[in-house]
Amino acid sequence: MTALRDIPPGEVWSPDRILRRKQIIEAAGLRWSVCESIMMPNAIKLGDAQAPRAIAAWTDTLANLGRAGIRTVCYNFMPVVDWTRTDLVYPMPSTGLALRFDMVSFVGYDVFVLRRPGAGANYPPALVEAAQRRIAGMGPDDIARLEANIIRGLPGGEASYDRASIGALIAQYAGLDDQGMRANLVTLLRAVTPVAEEFGIRLAIHPDDPPFSLFGLPRIVSTAADMRAILAAVDSPSNGMTLCTGSYGSRPDNDVLAIAGEFAGRIHFAHLRNVTCEPDGSFFEDGHLDGGTDMVAVIDILLREENRRRAGGDTMPIPLRPDHGHLLADDIGKTVNPGYSFIGRLKGLAEIRGVVRALEHPGRHA
């Protein structure tokens, strides 16, 4: 699961560049199963004058991936910031360091550091008051670290920002609500889905992370209702979803098991991780088999769906991976992408594989 992240958003991935990456993977005895992801320019999300050109480039890239035999493409439609955390080294009681989203700290940054116009009106007064106290108690280094964590551009995002540039980009979205942004997504899907169908590609939209508005911006892939609207707008087997259990699970009113069950037939990719939510909207990344989602039940749904597809002649499995992981052992202190340390993800993969093996065991129902 990889992508050509060195190519700027909005530029076409040439057949030669795709082939070179594929050859590197195959030379190591592996297979490129999922493109994760084709970067989505803000022009497409905004639906501005540059959108047609950006959509054409995205479509050409999709076709070139199809010609190279890549059959699953993950993408997201989050405006300005991709997945967002306030703390990248949150101490866990006994399992290393985790990623955390602290709602009070985020509101403090938005209202009292970035000073986004009208930001205070987006949050309950008690939360704004708590955020003001939090920021007042922080020193310059603490505020700089918080700002870097929020706007640095975590893996998968389109860009890294400074305070001025992120404020300017947020301002470009002024007046664009959920309905307008959803219409821009549908415009994209109507253009690219026929290409996906032609090459047998499965498009897998990733949910918002976290699945609620940041900086007052629209978020349109956060709930089951959002997914129903997206799938109904372009009703094609190629138009599907990435089941990210951690993203959906970061919102307490999302029933992750119900989402997995309802949309099982359109799950084209799965990110398996777990979070623990707190009453004020904060959450932290828990162990893969801990947190608020019954991971065993999720994996059972995925395996049953694979069996259903196999019975119908579809032999392509649902690709999945352990998403994120705790910073453990001697990975602490190394330079790693936040959430993507080796040992923590390997631990998650081992746990997931153990669950799969147990669920597939022939004596399970004996």
Q: Which residues are catalytic?
A: 206, 244, 271, 323-324, 340
Structure tokens at 287: 């162990």
Q: What backbone torsions phi and psi does residue 273 show, to the nearest 5 degrees? A: -155, 175
Q: Which residue has the tokens 């259903």?
A: 308
Question: What does the block give as tokens for 182?
Answer: 């959803």
Distance CA 10, CA 14 (A): 12
The SS3 call for residue 35 is strand
Q: Which residues contact 43 (CB under 8 A, 6 or more apart)?
A: 10, 50, 51, 53, 54
| Contact (Cβ atoms closer than 8 angstroms) between residue 128 and residue 120 | yes
User: Residue 313, Cα to own-chain centre: how many angstroms?
Assistant: 30
Contact 189, 73 (CB under 8 A): no
Q: Classify strands 267-272 and 239-244 as parallel, antiparallel or unpaired.
A: parallel
Distance, in Å, from the CA atom of 104 to the CA atom of 316, rounded to the nearest integer, reads 43
263 CB-near residues (< 8 Å, 6+ apart)? 224, 227, 231, 240, 241, 243
